[in-house]
Amino acid sequence: MLKAMRLSRLAFTIAAVSLAGVLCVAQTAPSPKTSRVIWVMTDGLRWQELFQGAEASLMTKANGVADEEALRRDFWRGSELERRQVLMPFLWGTMGRDGQIYGNRKLASDAYVTNGMNFSYPGYNETLTGAADPAIDSNHKINNPNVTVLEWLHRKPAFSGKVAAFGAWDLFPWIFNAERAGFPVNAGYAALEGFPANPRIQLLNELKADSPRDWDDEVYDNLAFHTALEYLKERKPRVLFLSLGETDDWAHDTKYGEYLRSARRADGYLKTLWDTVQSMPEYRGVTTLVFTPDHGRGEGEDWRSHGQKIPDSKYIWLAFMGPDTPALGERVNIAAVTQNQVAATVAKLLGEDYYSAVPGRGAPIADIIPGPTK
C-alpha cells in the first residue's frame, strides 16, 4: 500500500512538472530572428507620393519644373499603382511584397505623428524616443534631454560599440545628444574620422568639404548615404541609422521634380543597403529594414510645407521588412499606427523590451513582430 502511494505521488509530481513546462513554453515568445536593424528615414516625404506616385497638378513650372514633358516621361503613368512603382521600385517591388507598409489613408490605414508640431526635431525626437516632448518646439541646436532608443540599446553590453547614426542634416548630434549617447553620430558636412586606411571614406570626406552647398546645414543625400554604407561594410554595426534630407529641402524650395528624384534616389539607397547586407554573412537572414519619415506635408499648394498650421502634415507612413515580420504587404482597413510606436518596435525586433523599461513610450506595432512584448 505504501509503495503504491509513493508511486502515485511520484506520478503526480512528474505530471505537475511536465504541465509547468508546457505552460512555460506556451507563455514564452520565441526569440526574434532579427539581430540587426538598418533604419532609414527620409525627411518629409508625403504619404501621397509614396502610395500614389507623382501628382499631376504639381508637375508644373509654378512648382519649379523646368521641363514638364521630361518629368512626366520619368514619373507619370496611367494608374496610381504604376506611378508609385516607377517612383519607388524597391519599396513596392520588395518591401511591399515581403514586408508591411502602413499609411495609405485612401485604404483606411492611417499613420500619424502625435507631437502636434509636424516638423523635424519634434518628429525625430518622437520617432527615436517613442514619446512626444512639448519642450522640443524648434529646430535649434539644443541637446536632446531625452534618451533615444539607440542610446538605450547602446548602454546594453550586447549593443555597446555596435550602434551608429548618420544624417544629411547637421542637427543630428544634438538630436541624439551624441556626447552623452556615446556612439558615432556623423552628420552634415562633418568628416568621418578614424578610417585612415579606407580610401573611399577619405574621398567622401574630401567631397563633403569641396562640394557646392544648396543648404548650409545639410549635405546632399548621396554623401550621407555612401558614408553610412562604408561604415556598415567596415564596422558591421548591429544598429545602423541613416536620415536623408533632400525630400524635405527640395519641397521647401518648391522644386517638385527634384523632390521626386530625391524620393527615387532614397528608394535606390534602400535597395543598395538591402543587397549589401544580403551579401554579408553577419547580416544575411537576421536583418530587419525599417523605413520612416519624420513628418508629412500639406496638400495642393501646401505640399511644399508642414507644421502646426497645416494639420494634414501630421500624416505619415511606415515600412518594415525582415525575418520576423509577416509579409502582409500594404496594410488595409486597420487600426491607426503612430510615430511614437516605432522606437519600441525596433527594440522588440532586437529582442529588447523598451516599452516596459521606459514608461510612457508608444507600444510596439503588434503585426510587425507578433507575440508578447518579451
Cβ-Cβ contacts under 8 Å for 140 (sequence gap 6 or more): 121
Strands (E), 143-211: 163-167, 185-187
Write the pLDDT tens digit of every residue in 80-112: 999 999 999 999 999 999 999 999 999 999 999
Closest CA to 221 of 185, 260, 269, 253: 269
Q: What is the Cα–Cα distance from 55 to 78, expressed in whole angstroms?
A: 12
In the chain, % of residues over pLDDT 70: 91
* 257 phi, psi to nearest 5 deg: -60, -45
Residue 111: per-residue pLDDT: 98
Residue 372: per-residue pLDDT: 61
Q: What is the Cα–Cα distance from 189 to 211, expressed in whole angstroms?
A: 9
Residue 9: per-residue pLDDT: 52
Closest CA to 142 of 167, 174, 117, 182: 174
Low-confidence ranges of the chain (pLDDT < 70): 1-29, 372-374
Closest CA to 277 of 324, 243, 240: 240
Q: Grid cell 557646392 — which residue?
A: 212
Residue 166 pairs in a beta bridge with: 186, 242
Which stretches within 163-220 are classed as H helix? Answer: 172-175, 178-181, 199-210
Residue 370: per-residue pLDDT: 86
* 112 phi, psi to nearest 5 deg: -155, 160
Residue 1: per-residue pLDDT: 44
Residue 31: per-residue pLDDT: 83
Residue 371: per-residue pLDDT: 73
Closest CA to 44 of 97, 110, 120, 95: 120
Closest CA to 286 of 39, 35, 38: 35
Orientation of helix 68-75 relative to helix 80-87, angle to 10°: 100
CA geometry: angle 119, 300, 71, nearest 5 deg: 100
> What is the separation, in whole angstroms, between the first and last Cα of the chain?
48
